[in-house]
């Protein structure tokens, strides 16, 4: 009789433990949302990527011409106020080039293509157009679109992230209230990404009387927009 009682007690304990485990295994009530934030600012500097390229059968002649153009432009850039730490023109690329006049015929050497890259950081955007104009005047034959930047990029990115987190909480609270439950604490939050679209700009070749490179080229600068996205998961509480 005593042994039967012990077995019954053990069985009841197993049932209670199983019920507790089942209760603990119940899925948590949560809501998952994405939040977005954006801030904008006027650009206050730019990075200009330029290239000088020459093709000539005489390698020394091609190198000398490319180096001369680079030296001339660096001199012009310094005259516009660029400091040495804002200028980079170190590398040189040399490639022999050939053509195949007809199928089955031997290739024909056409010359050496010598290329040098010039990178300029422009801290005074009022002179952006002038930096470009003087580049072409010096003989630079490759000019890429300037990349506009803000010197406060780090602060702007953090502001966008704060806005994204606030947007996530607002969306979660709206969903909770609509469904008749309360919003609990955030259980998980992840930065989904930071987007830095290039600032819009426009350049139109125009001729004006003013001695101003931006006016002469018709340079118009737009705002830089920094966008952040976060994914967040909040606990839901009963009403």
Question: Is 19 contained in some domain?
Answer: no
Residue 23, φ and ψ in degrees, nearest 5: -65, -45
Residues 115 and 165 in one domain: no
Residues 111 and 194 in one domain: no
pLDDT recorded at residue 192: 82
User: Is residue 17 predicted with pLDDT exceeding 80?
Assistant: no
Residue range 129-153: mean pLDDT, rounded: 93
Q: What is the three-class DSSP state of 178? A: helix
Q: Domain count of the chain?
A: 2
Beta bridge partners of 56: 112
Residues 38 and 49 in one domain: no
Q: What value does the mean pLDDT of the chain take? A: 84
- Between the alpha carbon of residue 8 and those of residues 18, 20, 77, the distances in Å are 15, 19, 94
- The answer to pTM > 0.85 is no
Do residues 45 and 123 lie in contact, with contact meaning Cβ atoms separated by under 8 Å? yes
What DSSP character marks residue 106?
P
Residue-wise pLDDT tens digits, 55-98: 999 999 999 999 999 999 999 999 999 999 999 998 899 999 99
Report the distance separating Cα 61 and Cα 54, nearest Å: 9
Question: Is 12 contained in some domain?
Answer: no
Residues 164 and 222 in one domain: yes
Residue range 24-39: mean pLDDT, rounded: 84
pLDDT recorded at residue 169: 96
Which of residues 100, 127, 149 is at a domain's end?
A: 149
Beta bridge partners of 237: 182
Which of residues 149, 180, 199 is at a domain's end?
A: 149
User: Is residue 16 predicted with pLDDT exceeding 70?
Assistant: no
Q: Which residue has the tokens 């209670």?
A: 16
At residue 6 the predicted structure's pLDDT band, cuts being 50, 70 and 90, is low
Extended strands (E) in the chain: 30-41, 45-56, 87-88, 92-99, 108-122, 142-143, 147-149, 182-195, 201-202, 220-221, 224-237
Residues 62 and 99 in one domain: yes
The parent domain of residue 189 ranges over: 28-42+153-237
Residue range 148-170: mean pLDDT, rounded: 94
Residue-wise pLDDT tens digits, 112-130: 999 999 999 999 999 999 9
- Between the alpha carbon of residue 214 and those of residues 64, 76, 122, 130, 150, the distances in Å are 31, 16, 13, 7, 19
């Amino acid at each position: 009789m005593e042994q039967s009682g012990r077995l019954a007690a053990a069985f009841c304990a197993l049932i209670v433990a199983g019920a507790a485990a089942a209760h603990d295994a119940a899925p948590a009530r949560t809501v998952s949302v994405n939040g977005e934030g954006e801030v904008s600012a006027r650009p206050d500097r730019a990075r200009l990527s330029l290239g000088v390229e020459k093709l000539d059968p005489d390698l020394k002649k091609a190198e000398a011409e490319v180096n001369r153009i680079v030296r001339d432009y660096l001199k012009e850039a310094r005259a516009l106020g660029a400091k040495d730490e804002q200028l980079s023109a170190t590398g040189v690329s040399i490639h022999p080039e050939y053509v195949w006049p007809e199928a089955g015929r031997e290739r024909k050497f056409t010359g050496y293509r010598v290329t040098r890259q010039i990178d300029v950081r422009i801290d005074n955007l009022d002179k952006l157009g002038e930096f470009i104009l003087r580049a072409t005047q010096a003989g630079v034959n490759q000019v890429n679109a300037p990349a506009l930047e803000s010197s406060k990029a780090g602060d702007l990115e953090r502001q966008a992230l704060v806005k994204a987190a606030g947007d996530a909480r607002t969306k979660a609270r709206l969903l909770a209230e609509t469904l008749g439950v309360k919003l609990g604490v955030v259980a998980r939050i992840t930065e989904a990404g930071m987007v830095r679209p290039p600032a819009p700009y426009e350049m139109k070749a125009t001729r004006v009387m003013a001695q101003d490179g931006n006016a002469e080229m018709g340079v118009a600068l737009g705002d830089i927009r920094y966008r952040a996205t976060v994914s967040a998961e909040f606990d839901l509480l009963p009403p």
